[in-house]
Amino acid sequence: MIETRTPAKCLVIQLARLGDTLQSLMALRAAKQLYPHLEIHFLVRESFADAARRVPWIKHVYTLPSQDLLAPILSGSRTLTDTLPELEKWIAPIRAESWQYLINWTFSEASSYLTALIPAQIKLGYTRGSDHTMQGTDGWSHYIQAIVQGKIPQNIHLTDVFTTQLLTALQIHDGEPANQGHAAVTSKNFFSLTLTETEIAQISCDSRKRWIGLQIGASRDSKTLSPRKWAQFVEYFLERNQEYGIFLLGGKSDKTREQEFIAELSPNAQAWLQKKVIVSFVGESTFDLWASLLSRCQWLISGDTAAIHLASLLGTRVINLSLGEVSYAETGPYGNGHYVVRPTHSDIPITPQVIYSTWTYANSEWAHKKQTTLEEHFSHLNGSHVLEGVEIYRSKIRPTAEGGGVNFEPMIRRPLSLNLWTSRVMGHIARAWYCGWIPEITQEISREQIAPELLQMIRQYEESSEVLSKICVQASRIANTIHTKSLSLKSTKIMRLQEKEELQDLANKLQELEELIVRLGRTHSPILAFSQMLKVLLQHLQGDHLVELGRDTSLVYRHILEGVNIFKSWVKFTLQLGKPVALQPKLVPVSELHVHRSGKDLSP
Amino acid sequence: MTHVQMGELNQETCKINSDEKKLLNEFLEALLNEQNQTLGEIK
């Protein structure tokens, strides 16, 4: 289809790390496919700019020279004031452009100042208000602030948040997309890469072999395996799969780890290094080489988020070792058929056998077509005890009718924890708030996942969610009364004493109700989501007059109430599912009722 | 509640006024505080 719309200039700010940059690029690819007239420019830190520079449809990459700016200040050779003219010079050409869209996907304090400083017709993400307080410009930004950064479990992947946030804005301001955008977002050709002759020679490994990439490092040691475990895994793997080779991947900071890994290999395994069955690229990888290697791999095994996202973008399947404080639901591998392996508790180690058995199951999906369960597969290979202390999930892009986005399906049948239950409820509520519709709860939870411990906890929320919804109704009414009473005032500064006292009384009641919600949130953890969201939304109220503040506060409470009602439905449905089967009321279609009651059709 | 903030393009955008200078200063301060922070780490 030929694009006839005039280009819409769009600047995306991503000042976080490479993993976040790659997630942003994936979301932008989806938007670019649907709205080809978008002219996308990208603002990123210099150290992570290469990924954006290699994307052919990114018009221009601006880089923030954060090291050049900050290093002299940190060393004491310059002051903040000395640095300002340089910063002013840097931002001038960006401010001079006529941006239609400015999208800040960094979700940090610092980036919010940039959003405020760069003029644009439409802004998304964090910015600063006229009094310099932080403001979220849209619903998803409030959700990130209150829920994601507020440490409430939720299961919407950040790539889906970015995509939905941008597409909603585009739909509002640019109308329906020019095409349906069914093309895959990920591909081996996502980047336009250039390799030097040396790099081409390096990458020209045995073409008969299949390759597995191991990203041995991560931003923290706690997020990856120890060199000994990696070595054990490699030996275990190569002894059983001689048609495969291993690419060892990592940055300059992983050189020590690489040496420790090599030292841990047995003498026999050391020979694999000589025969180039194990090829190390640790410390040598430019972005182009790294991406080329990953696109040659059949699988990547990694705990490092940047490597996971890069492999996802390139369509390389991933086994994500989800170690330490990371949320696979939010930042795990995006796409179909990736696996996440995670210990049930931080003290429990992930063994090389578990990783290997997960890989053999995942790699033979085409043969068993999931007719064999992962549990049966593990049982054949090692005995089921190996699965104790491990959670394993498989990623799947859900059809729109089931809620859309990436979903991580549990591969081991276990009762649902309160955290997982809460994360599903929050995902459901977010869809209602920001997508305007929700799939049936029946698609999200089933009877076999409900354990008595979960029911016991959820029973407590039956009463508290009821109380919460009543508070929201009352608060919304009071705020609306403030709005109505203010409308009849000639001035909000000069009023009769009685009017002033009435308004003050209403404001005090509203304050009491807000405090009540905060107290409920402290005692019942899933309800904390609502008190945090309330706090964020109330902070974002922008009106200067009582009339506007009353009206907007009423809307805020109605918004919270919408979420609370969904929460109540989940509580009710889960408790219903937990009842013994014999006591479950059987749902009978209305058309059959007459027949059941009288034994014959009563219709004339 | 999905709403998008609308701004107006200012032809004089290149010039930085005193309020914007303050914003720029606050940006630099925040940048110093946030060294090496990612979305994941903020969480």
Return the SS3 of A246: strand
Cα–Cα distance, A82 to A72 (Å, whole number): 10
Number of CB atoms found within 10 A of residue A270's CB: 12
Cα–Cα distance, A399 to A343 (Å, whole number): 29
Q: Which of the residue ranges A374-383, A556-565, A590-599, B3-12 has the most confident prediction, judged by mean pLDDT? A: A556-565
The larger pLDDT score, comparing residue A443 to residue B24, is at: B24
Q: Domain-by-domain residue ranges, chain A? A: 8-174, 197-414, 416-604
pLDDT band of A1, cuts 50, 70, 90: very low
In CATH, the architecture of A8-174 is 3-Layer(aba) Sandwich (3.40)
State mean pLDDT over A318-328: 93
pLDDT given at position A597? 36
pLDDT given at position A492? 63
State mean pLDDT over A72-101: 93
Q: Can you count the helices (H) and strands (E) in chain A?
A: 23, 15
What is the nearest CA distance from A364 to chain B, expressed in angstroms?
33
pLDDT given at position A545? 83
Instruction: Report in angstroms the alpha-carbon separations of A278 from A89, A207, A235, A256, A520.
Output: 49, 14, 10, 17, 56
In CATH, the architecture of A197-414 is 3-Layer(aba) Sandwich (3.40)
**Phi, psi of A72, deg, nearest 5:** -65, -30
Instruction: Count contacts between A and B (CB, < 8 Å).
Output: 128
pLDDT given at position A177? 86
What is the nearest CA distance from A110 to chain B, expressed in angstroms?
5
**CB distance A119–B33 less than 8 Å?**
no
Q: Which of the residue ranges A252-261, A498-507, B2-11 has the most confident prediction, judged by mean pLDDT? A: A252-261
DSSP assignment, residue A399?
Answer: P
pLDDT for A256-299, tens place per residue?
999 999 999 999 889 999 999 999 999 987 999 999 999 999 99
Q: What is the pLDDT of chain A when averaged over all its residues?
A: 89
Whether A538 contacts A518, CB under 8 Å: no
CB contacts, 8 Å: B27 with chain A:
87, 110, 113-114, 117
Is pLDDT at A130 greater than 80 in this prediction?
yes
Closest chain B residue by Cα to residue A127:
B5
Residue of A108, A308, A551 for testing the chain B interface, max B β-carbons within 10 Å:
A108
Is pLDDT at A182 greater than 70 in this prediction?
no
CB contacts, 8 Å: B23 with chain A:
113, 116-117, 128, 132
The A406-410 sheet, strands edge to edge: A278-280, A244-249, A210-215, A299-302, A317-321, A339-343, A390-397, A406-410
Return the SS3 of A513: helix
The larger pLDDT score, comparing residue A179 to residue A441, is at: A441
What is the nearest CA distance from B16 to chain A, expressed in angstroms?
8
Return the closest-CA partner of residue A279 out of A372, A194, A201, A178: A201
In the block, residue with structure tokens 């924890």: A417
Whether A150 contacts A38, CB under 8 Å: no
The larger pLDDT score, comparing residue A384 to residue A70, is at: A70
pLDDT given at position A334? 96
Kindly state whether B33 is in contact with chain A, defined as any CB-CB distance less than 8 angstroms: yes
Is pLDDT at A118 greater than 70 in this prediction?
yes
DSSP assignment, residue A383?
Answer: -
pLDDT given at position A141? 97
The rounded percent of chain A whose pLDDT value lies above 90 is 69
Kindly state whether B38 is in contact with chain A, defined as any CB-CB distance less than 8 angstroms: yes
pLDDT for A63-81, tens place per residue?
999 888 998 988 889 999 9
pLDDT given at position A291? 94
pLDDT given at position A62? 98
pLDDT given at position A184? 66
pLDDT given at position A52? 97
pLDDT for A213-227, tens place per residue?
999 988 888 889 999
Cα–Cα distance, B43 to B39 (Å, whole number): 6
pLDDT for A502-529, tens place per residue?
889 999 999 999 999 999 999 888 899 9
Is pLDDT at B1 greater than 80 in this prediction?
no
Cα–Cα distance, A285 to A294 (Å, whole number): 11
The rounded percent of chain A whose pLDDT value lies above 70 is 93
